[in-house]
Amino acid sequence: MILPTKARYAPGEPVLVAVTAPPIARDLRVEHLGDEIRRIALARDAAGEQIVDLGPLPEGGYGVRLCTRDGSTYAQTAVEVLADPVARMRYGFVANFAPDRDIDGVLRWFRRLHLTAAQFYDWAYRHANLVGPDPQWTDPLGQPVSLAMVTALSTGLRAGGTLPIGYAAVYGVGHDEWPAWQQAALLDANGRPHTLADFLSIVDPSDPDWLAHFRADLRRASQAGGFAGFHLDQYGFPRRAVRPDGRVVDLAEAFDSLIHAVRAELPDACLIFNNVNDFPVWATTRSPQDVTYTEVWEPHDTLADLAAVATRSRSLAPHRPVVLAAYQSVYAKHPAPAADAATRLTMATLFSHGATQLLAGEDGRLLVDPYYVRNHRPDTSTLDRLARWYDFLVAAGDLLLAEDQADITRSVVGGLNGELDVTIDGAPVSHEPRPGVIWRRVVQTPVGTVVHLINLTGQTETGWDTPKAEIVPVGGLRLRVRPTGAEVPRLHAADPDAGVAFAPLPLSAEDGYLYADLPSLRAWLVLLIRPTDRAPRPTSDREENR
């Protein structure tokens, strides 16, 4: 077993991993996209857990494998060294703040999945009065909250490299507080206040009095809860509404005003605004907040819809991380294998489009509902698979989450193009995520050319939250690449179901092209093509006995 001591390390910070190694284990291998950076011999006489220093590492993501004498992998993880704690956000959640809860499982799970931010969901006393008058309270839906537990989780997660992010609704007011705010109500066509679930009414988020109150409330909450920032939530409606004074409010403009006001109050905070169903992403990507975050609902039903949201988010704000809240309710309705298959395809779609997913959190729970308290405890096999995929997300972060990348599929593949292609007898290969195909995309990154292959061959539909047929591996795939002069590029292949390793593949010349036989395609196969003169990352190898 290997577990990093932190979800993210700052440059110059010791990169430490906790290792529990059986006698057959020999060394730790630190790798960057197929290049071995260093190999560290493990002490033979150490009993139990060892803390191993991986040494200084440049910024980026790395796979870490615990290997046996013959070089096979016994256990694996990943580590990330990054100055900006938000740049490659992997978002999780916490939704239990009872005074007697155990937090060790939460801290361990966040480190295992390398989750760099935690949304503290429904931690507050009231929506319009975040910090309660006493050290313990009951939230509006009856959940017990201990402020001491909130701060314990904040402190523990920060120590593990995770930003604690407090939840705050930007315009929701409960029944008890409503008399003080009804003059700023947003009214429907019948003159009644817009409401959510009959326990919250909605006010104009740009109302000056509300903004003054909200700013002060966030300031108090930041200090009381130890938060590094706030998740600014809205409900997706209304888009336009009238106030009791007759003024019409455009919510896109109102949200932008609110975000500017919060930024002025909390200049150093991490601010995450929720673009419900992509509304109003065109405005909030210009606002002074830090993440392009979208909670997706109908009609964003398919893998193609997720890809489109992620692509649009990246294009509107190329230098911000993209996170989608895509709740996998399929786990609450269908057997685990069908739900696991759906989640693998969802993750493959999002990760290959430079986005991450708010899905996992707590002490090993998954989101299946917008009320995060109703989360799902999956099978151990599901948790293990998620850990492998998140390890891969970190190890391949320099490819998947690079700011400067471009989809070049239609410029190099198919039709009059002939730069490269992937072929197979008996299965169609397509630019689009259609049922029954291998979905192929080509992306240019600062590291090299990346080919994504996603296996939809056994599926009859492509909903991202619908039960999926078993993903049957597809063999016989072949890559064809047009060479540049006499150069033979380097080719590596990686599969998140297998873990963090990028395996080298040989290329052979034939008919003026270079060809490579590819590994079997399970859910998602990533191919990295680099020039031969692209040197490995410049750090010295070392071996140390510990």
Q: Is residue 371 part of a domain?
A: no
Q: 431 with 502, same domain?
A: yes
Residues 53, 136 share a domain: no
Q: What angle do CA 125, 131, 133 make, to 5 degrees?
A: 85
Q: What was the pLDDT predicted at 328?
A: 98
* Residue-level pLDDT at 533: 62
- State the Cα–Cα distance between residues 166 and 326, nearest whole angstrom: 20
- Supply the DSSP symbol for 180: G
Q: What CATH number is given to the structural domain containing 436?
A: 2.60.40.1180
Q: Scanning the structure block, which residue is given the tokens 């099978």?
A: 379
**What was the pLDDT predicted at 197?**
87
- Site of tokens 């990154």: 445
Q: Are 282 and 160 members of one domain?
A: yes
Spatial distance between the Cα atoms of 314 and 121, rounded to a whole number of angstroms: 26
Mean pLDDT within 220-248: 97
Same domain for 223 and 122: yes
Query: Domain boundary at 81, 99, 121, which?
Result: 81
Confidence at 506, pLDDT banded by 50, 70, 90:
very high
**Same domain, yes or no: 6 and 116:** no
Helix (H) or strand (E) holding 403, with range, is none
Same domain, 434 and 465: yes
pLDDT tens digit sequence for 116-135: 999 999 999 999 999 999 99
Same-domain pairing of 95 and 221: yes
If asked whether residues 47 and 108 sit together in one domain, one would say no
Residue 22: predicted pLDDT: 81
User: In the structure encoding, which two tokens stand for residue 91, read together?
Assistant: 């978002």
Give the per-residue pLDDT at 112: 98
The span from the CA of 81 to the CA of 52, in Å, is 16
Average pLDDT of every residue of the chain: 94
Q: Which residue has the tokens 């011999």?
A: 41
**High-pLDDT (> 90) share of the chain, %:** 89
283-288-291-295 Cα dihedral, nearest 10 degrees: -40
In a domain, 182, yes or no: no
- DSSP per-residue letters across 89-153: --EEEE--B-TT---HHHHHHHHHTT--EEEETT-SSBTTB-S-SSSEEE-TTS-EEEHHHHHHH
Average pLDDT of the residues in 452-464: 98
Q: What is the mean pLDDT of residues 232-250?
A: 97
Give domain status of residue 424, yes or no: yes
CA–CA distances in Å: residue 95 to residues 105, 179, 224, 361? 13, 29, 17, 9
535: left (phi over 0), alpha (psi -120 to 50) or beta: beta
* Residue found by looking up tokens 């990533």 in the block: 526
The pLDDT value given to residue 26? 86
Residue 303 lies in a domain: yes
In angstroms and rounded to an integer, the radius of gyration of the C-alpha atoms of the chain is 24
> What is the four-CA torsion angle of 132, 136, 138, 140, rounded to 10 degrees?
20
The token pair that represents 1 in the structure block:
């077993």
Rounded distance between C-alpha atoms, residue 489 and residue 405, angstroms: 19
Extract the tokens encoding 173. 């007011």
Q: What is the mean pLDDT of residues 499-514?
A: 94
47 and 101 belong to one structural domain? no
Residue 76 sits in a domain whose CATH number is 2.60.40.10
The whole-number average pLDDT for the span 27-40 is 96
Token pair for 38: 């260093």
Domain boundary among 63, 81, 99: 81
- Per-residue burial over 180-212, b = 16 or more CB atoms within 10 Å of its CB, e = otherwise: ebeebbbbeeeeebbbeeeebbbbbbbbeebbe
Name the pLDDT band for 45 (thresholds 50, 70, 90).
Answer: low
- Interatomic CA distance for residues 442 and 453, integer angstroms: 9
Q: How confident is the model at residue 535 (pLDDT cuts 50, 70, 90)?
A: very low
Q: How confident is the model at residue 46 (pLDDT cuts 50, 70, 90)?
A: low
Q: Taken in order 87, 345, 340, 381, is the CA torsion positive or negative?
A: negative
Query: 2 near 64, Cβ under 8 Å?
Result: yes
Q: Residues 445, 299: one domain?
A: no
Q: Select from 289, 310, 325 the last residue of a domain.
A: 325
In a domain, 97, yes or no: yes
Dump pLDDT digits (tens) for 155-185.
999 999 999 999 999 999 999 999 999 999 9
- pLDDT digits over 381-413, tens only? 999 999 999 999 999 999 999 989 999 999 999
Instruction: State yes or no: pLDDT of 426 exceeds 90.
Output: no
- CATH at 301: 3.20.20.80
**517 bridge partner residues:** 478
Residue 505 domain-assigned (yes or no): yes
Contacts of 189 (CB under 8 A, 6+ apart): none
Per DSSP, the three-state class of 255 is helix
Structural domain contains residue 301: yes
Average pLDDT in the 319-342 region? 98
- Of the pLDDT bands very low, low, confident and very high (cuts 50, 70, 90), residue 545 is very low
pTM to 2 decimals?
Answer: 0.95
Structural domains counted in the chain: 3
Q: Residues 143, 285: one domain? A: yes
504 found inside a domain: yes
Q: Are residues 68 and 101 in the same domain?
A: no
Determine the structural domain holding residue 470 and report its residue range. 406-530
More confident position, 451 or 414: 451
Cα 543 to Cα 546: distance, rounded to the nearest angstrom: 10
From the DSSP assignment, how many helices (H) and strands (E) are in the chain?
11, 35
Task: List the beta bridge partners of residue 360.
Answer: 366
